[in-house]
Amino acid sequence: MEKSRPMSEVNIPYAIRAYSPEALKAALRKMILIRKFEEGAEDCYTRGLIHGTMHLSIGQEASAVGSCMSLSDEDKITSTHRGHGHCIAKNADLGKMFAEFFGKDTGYCRGRGGSMHIADVAKGNLGANGIVGGGLPIAVGAALSAKRLGTGAVTICFFGDGANNEGAFHEALNMAAVWKLPVVFVCENNKYGMSTSTERSTAVKNIAERAAAYSMPGVTVDGNDFSAVSEAVDTAVTHARAGNGPSLVENLTYRWRGHSKSDRNRYRTKEEISDWMERDPILQMTELLLSHKVISEAEVETLQAETTQVIKDAIEFAAASPAPEIEDAIRFVYNEGTAA
Amino acid sequence: MPVEVIMPKVDMDMASGKITVWHVAAGDRVGQGDPLFDIETDKAAMEVEAAASGYLHHRVAEGTDVPIGQPVAWIYAEGEDVGAPPEAAARSAAGTAAEAGPGPASERAAETVPAPEPHAKTRATPLARHLAAKAGLDIGEIAGSGPRGRVQAEDVRGELHQPPPSKGAAPAGFTAENGPLAVSRSIGGAGTPIILLHGFASDAKSWGPLERHLGDHPIIRIELPAHGKSPKLRISGFADLVCEVRRAFDKLDLGSAHLIGHSLGAAVALAIADTRPKTVSSLTLLAPAGLGPDINGAALAGLGNATRPESLGPWLKLMVCNERLISDGYVRAAMSARADAGLRSAQSALADAVFPDGVQAFDLKSALDRIEVPTRIVWGKQDRIIPWQHALRAPGRVSLHLFDNVGHIPQFEIPDEVGKLLRAHL
Amino acid sequence: MSADSREELRELSYAEAIREAMDIALGRDERVILMGEDIGVYGGAFQVTGNLVEKYGTDRVMDTPISELGGAGVAVGAALTGLRPIFEFQFSDFAALAMEQIVNQAAKIRYMLGGAVSVPLVMRFPAGSGTGAAAQHSQSLEAWFGHVPGLKVIQPSTPEDAKGMLLAALEDPDPVMIFEHKILYKMKGHVPEGYYTTPIGKAAIRRPGTDVSIVATSLMVHKALAAAETLAGEGIDVEVIDLRTVRPMDRETILASVRKTGKLICVYEGVKTLGVGAEISAMVAESDAFDFLEAPILRLGGAESPIPYNPELEKAVVPQVPDILEAARNIAKGRV
């Protein structure tokens, strides 16, 4: 098959073939926004402006944005504790995200959820999750709704390598396959569940191999390669939308930062981290778009300046927002008027 | 503009950190990502890398504890002027961290004065306390009939059932006195004192209803041996009993006194009046013993033997005409006043000495004939303990007051009537 | 015979009443689905779903794999995205397998997201002892879940309530857990025809009385009523309150009863310590009704042990009618 194609087309990466220049530029912009959003969050955290902890996905931007390329607002995602990128890929409002980090009433969760629970149901984001593997069955449920109600929506279920050893992973994949539900399981394998490497925790070499146990397609791709990610996930989404059931896509990637803000990084070498930093997904994406003349150097510079300003504005919005009322601390536990 | 180096928050609950060592000397060049300094928090130590390249200036001293977000140094670009340290960036939570509240509560608690010893508590149900508080009664003064002597609501209601005190008439309270027998004296009052002698198996508190109707006279209550708070003396006979009570009476050293007695206490009062005619101003005998042989021996034995409210109740009811006055709460309260088995056995021994085989073994008819002090006999015509007809043996100068529909304890059943009668002559 | 009097005479078993409620719900709302292990052609472990699969098909009466955690999570996700699932656990004990989805997800999602979403999920749990199923199939775990804000926990004790409260649970926008005592499934009682709801969060006074208040749950309501009959012959007038809802608890009905009688006994099958009765007792002790207490509050609850197999042992570890009689006599006669 490949041999019969003209060389020019074979050498053009999937992303360039599949998407318009505008879509690609928007994708790059989202990746840069994710990076700057998280750097901004980290800066606010070190200044003591953000309470609790947070899990940064710096270095994993291609996985988040590439996976959501063919989704509409009707399509759902479930996310993880390392979910800022997924929110932004699913078009979240950065001001409302920062406001949530700052615990403000204008935040996505009105200050009740924080970094680990941001959801944007209107955009199809059913929420990050503080429990490893917590979102897997929920994603299957969302897919069940879509099938039962005939909405045509697909659900992408993001999870990490750590979750693949939770019982919920196996139960969810099995049920999704048994009922042929429109769900795509996207494993962001960043090599470590907190400090424990996949080599030490997981019996299979590639997590995608586990798809075979549930009789669904499984594929492992370079998660820092935007084009590879979008190709694999788009294929799975098309498969699901056509009523053929779930797939498992494994994006091999790396988090540059620690697991959370209390990580002392005793399990990784500086060499390993700098090797992966050299495979920066944003640099790779920028080079891809530059080399295919989708974007110019000048446009990249403009994009950098514009996104810096967006982040600055978002932080200012959050800082200036009002805090929730203390007397409302237990509001939203139940629907109003339904609980004594 | 130099780059600010701040004390970073590296832990969830970190408020400040201490710089243990600088890896770069002041004025030296540092590269981005180079180790810059080590910090120590209360949990861990860690290395902090330089966020920018340049020359390090305005380092805080090693060992300094710095709130998070506060600058610890500045990194200057090549050739940049190094003047005074710039202002810290406005956006920082350091202020709030520095203003953190006072120390843990335990430290403050250590400074507080230890609480005084709690008062001994009365066992009472919440409802009993509630009712007592509402009525202005001291719960500690109410005898409890519940498990472990707990005051129940019924006990409080029983207490409330007594006619309410008319304002100013009731003695303010009593003080106990030392002596051979338990003697309590009302606080305040004016005029000739009244001495009260209760009957068999009763005690000083039983006078409560009548006391409220006795005007402003000082009241002195003497408890018979083996009754109330008096010692459980072994009494060999009626003369012995009179002797003990008279000793207490003498110790009062009164110029004059009105003597009121009930039942066995009336007999004792009569005997004292017979032997201390100068001291006794008047004598009131309520259903007195000693004027005939008959007495309800079964009731005496029953009262003495009862160990629980169920067995005491029927005998208490026999004492009155209007049995509804003897509520369950009243019975439980009476039983709890008789909870002491030693007291009960001493009383039984006394009964056996003065009323052997259920017969009044002493006759005071001649004493009553002898005495000259103004004397009244008050009796209920439904008395089922001592027949009221014994009153008919009294000589003509003794006033008789016989009440219909009243039993053995007129001062309990009709305290207002009895009080009115007494006040007219005191 | 008029239609009205036929209506009065209609009796269904507790299980039939639940099935009728689910039948009505499936019939009137396309979004309603049933999920659970062996609820299809098998009809459910206790034959509660019965033949509903024949009427509504396997798409709406779904047999799940034996995957309580995953199954509950699917139900949470479906509820979050537009369906109204009724998820049957085969035994309430298996809730332990699904704790994560019930407690960390279903209960908290609405709050964590600042009220942006609801989880209108109904979960049914066959519960309780008395069937010889021993320690892992006989527990009464309602207090576990009553401890979790965000959940509603109900225990209907009659066929009429079983139907009305299930339909109320489906109308409720928040997750509702229904604990159904297995011994009650065969109990018959009057059940009105058609659609009606019985409010969640409202206790029922099953027998008014003046001397002692008994607050009981589930099967214990019937034991308390039996005891109350005997006690009435002894001159002890017992008020029996059917709690019906563990969370949110109907405080006012309990407090009003305690203000009247001054004496309270809590009777529940779950383990006594830190159980439903502990909450009721503490709630009364904290309230103004405390001032009306005439005796210590008594709790009759399950023994501090797993449920044993031997039938005599099994009876011994949960409150029985003689236990209630003894407690009521003691408290009524001032012996405690």
Query: How buried is residue B265: exposed, middle or buried, by Cβ count under 10 Å (0-12/13-18/19+)?
Result: buried
- Same domain for B33 and B72, yes or no, is yes
Answer for the pair A58, A88: CB distance below 8 angstroms, yes or no.
Answer: no
Amino acid at B221: R
Q: Which of C213, C263, C290, C294 to mutate to test the interface with B (most CBs of B within 10 A)?
A: C294
C251 touches chain A (CB under 8 A): yes
User: CB–CB of A174 and C74 under 8 A?
Assistant: no
Using the predicted structure, report yes or no on whether residue B95 has a pLDDT greater than 60.
Answer: no
Does any domain span residue B42?
yes
CB environment B212-246: b (16+ within 10 A), e (fewer): bbbbebbbbbbbbbbbbebebbebeebebbbebbe
Quick one: average pLDDT of C156-173?
A: 98
Of C290, C335, C336, the CB nearest to B126: C290
Does any domain span residue A327?
no
CB environment B301-333: b (16+ within 10 A), e (fewer): bbbbebeebeebbebbbbbbbeeebbbbbbbbb
- Which residue in chain A is spatially nearest to B46 when comparing CA positions? A264
- Same domain for B146 and B277, yes or no, is no
Which residues from A are below 8 Å from B89, CB to CB?
A: 47
- Same domain for B29 and B141, yes or no, is no
- Same domain for B169 and B258, yes or no, is yes
User: CB–CB of C71 and A332 under 8 A?
Assistant: no
End-to-end CA distance of chain C: 53
For position B178, what pLDDT does the model report? 67
pLDDT tens-digit profile of B201-214? 998 888 988 988 88
> Mean pLDDT per segment of 10 residues, for chain A of length 340 residues?
55 95 98 98 92 92 98 97 96 97 95 92 94 97 97 98 97 98 98 94 97 98 98 98 98 94 86 96 98 97 97 97 94 79
Quick one: average pLDDT of B156-179?
A: 60
CA A231 to CA A248: how far, in whole Å?
13
- Same domain for B212 and B228, yes or no, is yes
Which residues from A are below 8 Å from B68, CB to CB?
A: 46-48
Where among B93, B113, B140 does a domain terminate? B93
User: In whole numbers, what is the pLDDT of chain C averaged over residues?
Assistant: 96
For position C227, what pLDDT does the model report? 98
Lowest mean pLDDT among B74-78, B277-281, B324-328: B324-328
pLDDT tens-digit profile of A14-41? 999 999 999 999 999 999 999 999 999 9
CATH of the domain at B147: 4.10.320.10
Using the predicted structure, report yes or no on whether residue C154 has a pLDDT greater than 90.
Answer: yes
A273 touches chain B (CB under 8 A): no
User: CB–CB of B147 and C292 under 8 A?
Assistant: no
Of C291, C334, C335, the CB nearest to B126: C291
Sequence-separated (6 or more) residues with CB below 8 Å from residue B155: B128, B142, B143, B144, B145, B146, B329, B332, B333
Which residues from C are below 8 Å from B128, CB to CB?
A: 294
* Structural domain of A259: 24-318
For position B12, what pLDDT does the model report? 74
- Same domain for B293 and B157, yes or no, is no
pLDDT tens-digit profile of B127-163? 999 888 888 888 988 888 888 889 999 888 888 775 4
pLDDT tens-digit profile of B299-356? 888 888 888 888 888 999 999 998 888 888 788 878 877 877 778 888 888 988 899 8
pLDDT band for position C5 (cuts 50, 70, 90): low
Q: Which of A47, A54, A98, A264 to mutate to test the interface with B (most CBs of B within 10 A)?
A: A47
User: CB–CB of A47 and B11 under 8 A?
Assistant: no
Question: How many CB pairs below 8 A link A and C?
Answer: 159
pLDDT band for position B10 (cuts 50, 70, 90): confident
For position B97, what pLDDT does the model report? 39
Using the predicted structure, report yes or no on whether residue B105 has a pLDDT greater than 80.
Answer: no
Q: Which of C234, C242, C238, C240 is nearest to C211 (CA)?
A: C238
- Same domain for B214 and B304, yes or no, is yes
Q: What is the DSSP letter of A117?
A: G
- Same domain for B151 and B172, yes or no, is no
For helices A297-320 and A21-46, what crossing angle results, to 10°? 40
- Same domain for B257 and B381, yes or no, is yes
Using the predicted structure, report yes or no on whether residue B98 has a pLDDT greater than 50.
Answer: no
Does any domain span residue B129?
yes
Q: Which two tokens stand for residue B347?
A: 């009383």
Query: Would C3-190 and C204-332 be classified into the same CATH topology?
Result: yes
- Which residue in chain C is spatially nearest to A118 when comparing CA positions? C113
Helix (H, G, I), strand (E, B) or coil at A258: coil
For position A7, what pLDDT does the model report? 54
Greater pLDDT, B99 or B229:
B229
For position B91, what pLDDT does the model report? 54
CA B185 to CA B172: how far, in whole Å?
11
> How would you write B261-327 as a 3-class SS string?
EECHHHHHHHHHHHHCCCCEEEEEEECCCCCCCECCHHHHHHHHHCCCHHHHHHHHHHCCCCHHHCC
C256 touches chain A (CB under 8 A): no
CATH of the domain at A296: 3.40.50.970
| Residues facing residue B67 across a β-bridge | B16
pLDDT tens-digit profile of C246-262? 999 999 999 999 999 99
C266 touches chain A (CB under 8 A): no
Taking domain C204-332, whether its CATH number is 3.40.50.10380 is answered by no
The gap from C-alpha B54 to its chain's centroid, in whole angstroms, comes to 80
Does any domain span residue B153?
yes
Does any domain span residue A7?
no
* Structural domain of B306: 165-423
Answer for the pair A93, A30: CB distance below 8 angstroms, yes or no.
Answer: no
User: CB–CB of B130 and C335 under 8 A?
Assistant: no
> How would you write chain B as a 3-class SS string?
CCEEEECCCCCCCCCEEEEEEECCCCCCEECCCCEEEEEECCCCEEEEECCCCEEEECCCCCCCEEECCCEEEEEECCCCCCCCCCCCCCCCCHHHHHCCCCCCHHHHHHHCCCCCCCCCCCCECHHHHHHHHHHCCCHHHCCCCCHHHCECHHHHHHHHHCCCCCCCCCCCCEEEECCCCCEEEECCCCCCCEEEECCCCCCHHHHHHHHCCCCCCCEEEECCCCCCCCCCCCCCCHHHHHHHHHHHHHHHCCCCEEEEEECHHHHHHHHHHHHCCCCEEEEEEECCCCCCCECCHHHHHHHHHCCCHHHHHHHHHHCCCCHHHCCHHHHHHHHHHCCCHHHHHHHHHHHHHHCHHHECCCCCHHHHHHCCCCEEEEEECCCCCCCHHHHHHCCCCCEEEEECCCCCCHHHHCHHHHHHHHHCCC
Quick one: average pLDDT of C51-72?
A: 97
Which residues from B are below 8 Å from C295, CB to CB?
A: 125, 146
Which residues from A are below 8 Å from C69, CB to CB?
A: 137, 167-168, 171
Does any domain span residue A334?
no
CATH topology (fold) of C3-190: Rossmann fold (3.40.50)
CA B418 to CA B411: how far, in whole Å?
6
pLDDT tens-digit profile of B241-277? 998 899 888 888 888 999 999 999 999 999 999 888 8
User: CB–CB of A149 and C82 under 8 A?
Assistant: yes
Ordered by start, the domain boundaries in chain C are 3-190, 204-332
- Same domain for B222 and B309, yes or no, is yes
Which other chains touch chain C, taking contact as 3+ CB pairs less than 8 Å apart?
A, B
* Separation in Å, CA of C330 to nearest CA in chain B: 11
Selected residues 116-155 of chain C with any CB under 8 Å from a CB in chain A: 116-118, 149-150, 152
Does any domain span residue B113?
no
Q: How many domains does chain B have?
A: 3
Helix (H, G, I), strand (E, B) or coil at A30: helix
User: CB–CB of C112 and A112 under 8 A?
Assistant: yes
B94 touches chain A (CB under 8 A): yes
pLDDT tens-digit profile of B237-246? 898 899 889 9
Quick one: average pLDDT of B4-13?
A: 84
Q: Which of A230, A243, A256 is nearest to A60 (CA)?
A: A256
Does any domain span residue B63?
yes
Does any domain span residue A330?
no
Of A46, A53, A264, the CB nearest to B44: A264
Amino acid at A255: R
C74 touches chain A (CB under 8 A): yes
User: CB–CB of B91 and A49 under 8 A?
Assistant: yes
Residues of C taking part in catalysis: 68, 137
- Same domain for B73 and B200, yes or no, is no
- Same domain for B152 and B177, yes or no, is no
Q: Locate all alpha helices (DSSP H) within chain C, ordered by sequence.
A: 3-9, 14-28, 52-56, 68-80, 99, 109-112, 142-146, 159-171, 219-233, 251-261, 276-286, 311-316, 321-332
Greater pLDDT, B172 or C321:
C321
Quick one: average pLDDT of C263-289?
A: 97
Q: How many domains does chain A have?
A: 1
For position B300, what pLDDT does the model report? 86
pLDDT tens-digit profile of C225-234? 999 999 999 9
pLDDT tens-digit profile of A47-92? 988 888 889 999 999 999 999 999 999 999 999 999 999 999 999 9
A49 touches chain B (CB under 8 A): yes
C63 touches chain A (CB under 8 A): no
